Amino acid sequence: MQLSPDSCLVNVARTRQILATLSNATWSRKTDAEKAAYKAELKRQFQIDSTEAIYITTGKSDFYRFHEVFPSLGEGIKVFEDNQVDPWFAQAILLIESPAQLKKSISGAYGAFQLMPSVARNYGLTVNSSTDERANFSKSAFAASQLLKQSCIPSARKILQQTGIRYTEQELGFRLLVMHVYHAGAGNVAAVVKKINPQTTVMDLIRSMWITTAASFGNNSQNYSQLALAAQWLLHDYIYSTCDEISPCSGK
């Protein structure tokens, strides 16, 4: 998230173990044969099984522009609070989905909260060839809060109830599971949880989800809660590096 777009991390797909760093230009200049040989040599050096997949992940600092999204966090948090939804979700989604940008994903998600057209329509937004209210921050925030309230949070509860794991809805593990449902859908999350068959804590489950695939829960889905965690740390650092004085919260 902090690496520039001209940087690459060479990592093990299954475990995210970082093996090397190099420039994007250096990697791009390699032929397919040279790329394959480079990965094979890293596997030999690190004694990694030959069947393990090696990823080349480019830096995304040009995408995760926290200084630009920061001013919108308060507005998103207020909408969520007004609709009795944990405002932590507003902050987390705004930081990682489409920070300070109105871009449409390959799947068709759009707006600050990256809502799919059908989801937006379900919660009262107009999405057609001439009007797309997902571009309206307040309306998009409302729809996202309702999606969480009516679908994602209840689905996360149901998934955990089936495991027998004890949890509270204020703990980080539960929040991250809800984020996975928001991103990947309840069916895919349920599939990966069933495959893991967790026995201990929600946070242990989340860690297992980072290295487990099932149904359409793949690499991007595995990364999602890791991005949410990293974004919170980066926001913390940003606030403390830019604010002259921070007062304790009162009331809520």
Task: List Cα–Cα distances, 235 to 80, 136, 220, 231, 247, in angstroms.
Answer: 19, 24, 22, 6, 17
The model carries a pTM of 0.85
- Residue 124 phi, psi dihedral angles, 5° rounding: 95, 5
What is the distance, to the nearest Å, from the Cα of residue 147 to the centroid of all Cα atoms in its chain?
Answer: 16
C-alpha–C-alpha distance, residues 120 and 143, integer Å: 6
Determine the pLDDT at residue 64. 60
Helix (H/G/I), strand (E/B), else coil: 115: strand
Q: Does domain 66-242 have CATH number 1.10.530.10?
A: yes
Structure tokens at 132: 């797309």
Q: Which residue has the higher pLDDT, 42 or 235?
A: 42
Is residue 201 pLDDT above 90, yes or no? yes
Determine the pLDDT at residue 250. 47
Using 50, 70 and 90 to split pLDDT, how confident is the model at 4?
confident
C-alpha–C-alpha distance, residues 14 and 174, integer Å: 23
Which residue, among 25, 92, 96, has the nearest Cα to 58 in the 3D structure? Answer: 25
Helix (H/G/I), strand (E/B), else coil: 96: helix
Question: Taking a C-beta distance cutoff of 8 angstroms, is the pair 145, 139 a contact?
Answer: no
Per-residue pLDDT tens over the stretch 139-175:
999 999 999 999 999 999 999 999 999 999 999 999 9
Determine the pLDDT at residue 61. 59
* Domain ranges across the chain: 7-58, 66-242
C-alpha–C-alpha distance, residues 193 and 181, integer Å: 11
Per-residue pLDDT tens over the stretch 79-103:
999 999 999 999 999 988 876 677 8
What's the rounded mean pLDDT across residues 204-229? Answer: 94
The amino acid present at 24, given as its one-letter code, is N
Question: Taking a C-beta distance cutoff of 8 angstroms, is the pair 224, 183 a contact?
Answer: yes
